[in-house]
Amino acid sequence: MSASKPWGRMLMRYEFLVTGRVSDIVRAAFPEFEVADGPTGGTSIFGPVRDKAALRGMLARLDALGLTVVEMRKLPD
């Protein structure tokens, strides 16, 4: 970690793969993320995550919408 990017200010990029195709309403619930249909029938939701608290919040949002996360991964910077 460089001195110019303390942990609290680093943006990480994550991808969340969920089962099924999501509705336009669900897509609208994630305005800060890209949402794309996955090749195997699922949906990919990806974008910047500020910190661990924001990551937990994202997982809570996905759960609250009834989405099943089948994979979560940190994307390369």
- Tell me the pLDDT tens digit for each residue of 60-77: 999 999 999 999 999 997
Q: Say which residue, 33 or 8, is predicted with more confidence.
A: 33
Predicted pLDDT at 3: 43
Q: What is the pTM of this model?
A: 0.83
**Which pLDDT band, with edges at 50, 70 and 90, does 38 fall under?**
confident
**69: Cβ–Cβ under 8 A, 6 or more apart, which residues?**
16, 17, 18, 59, 62
Tell me the backbone φ, ψ of residue 68, rounded to 5 degrees.
-100, 115
Q: How far is CA 69 from the centre of its chain?
A: 10
CATH numbers and ranges of domains, the chain: 12-75 (3.30.70)
